[in-house]
Structures are given as structure tokens and as C-alpha cells.
Amino acid sequence: MIDTRKTIIEVLSIINFTDDKEVFTDGILVMAEKQALTECIKSLPEHKRAPLIHLLNNTHRQRELSTILKRYITEEMYAKQLEKSTNELFLDYLETIDKTLDPETRAKLESYLALVLADSNRVG
């Protein structure tokens, strides 16, 4: 299994990211979690989505939110969407910075990502 946090931080090191890598990584992962949850809710049929949204809007305790969500969204559904959301967000970032990378850095990045992909295919 790929350690997403470690992979993102390693990529940031390869591209010589100068800001706080941990903070940036946390930001990507939090955005991915929110996007995944939103997409899971949007994928529910209307007869399930409407009551869920009503419950969520009227609940303010984190523990209650978690319990409510588990009634409507399976762990597998969320995990798949989280992986998809994380990949989309990080690939968007890589596409944005790609044109700023020098050939040597791009080659290092491509080699690293190929290794990560090969490892994920071997495991998955």
C-alpha cells in the first residue's frame, strides 16, 4: 500500500519545494478528505441524500456526524473516493508546476513516480 503522505513529501523534496512540506501535504490531504466526502454524498440517490444532508445540517458534534455518515456511506466507498480525490488534487498540482521544472528535476520526478506506480501495481 502506498503511503500517500510520504509520497507527497518526497515529491516536494524532489522538486525543491521551499515552504513547509508537512503543512502543504496536510492541506492537500484535508482538501481530498472534504472532496471525497462531498462526492460520496453527491453519489447517493436523492431519497438518501436529502435526509443525510438534513441530519448533517442539524448535527454539531463530530462523533454524531461520524455515526450518521457511516449509516449512509460505506468505508469502501469513502476509501475509493478518497484515493481518487487525492490523486486528482496532487496531479493537478503536478501539472501546474510541470512547466517550471528544469529537465533534471523533471527526470528525477518521473523516475520516482514510475517507481511508486510500479510498487502500487505490485501490491494492488
Domain residues for 70?
Answer: 4-123
Confidence of residue 1 (pLDDT cuts 50, 70, 90): low
* pLDDT attached to residue 59: 84
Please state which of the ranges 41-45, 57-61, 67-71, 72-76 shows the lowest mean pLDDT: 57-61
State the alpha helices, DSSP H only, in 18-102.
21-43, 46-57, 62-72, 75-98
pTM for this model (two decimals): 0.84
How confident is the model over 1-23, as a mean pLDDT? 93
Percent of the chain with pLDDT over 70: 98
Q: How many domains does the chain have?
A: 1
Amino acid identity of residue 81, one-letter, is Q
* pLDDT attached to residue 65: 84
Q: Write the secondary structure of 94-106 as one string of H (helix), E (strand) and C (coil).
A: HHHHHCCCCHHHH
* pLDDT attached to residue 118: 85
Does residue 123 register a pLDDT over 70? no
* pLDDT attached to residue 117: 85
How confident is the model over 57-71, as a mean pLDDT? 86
Q: What is the mean pLDDT of the chain?
A: 91
CA 119/CA 124 separation, integer angstroms: 8
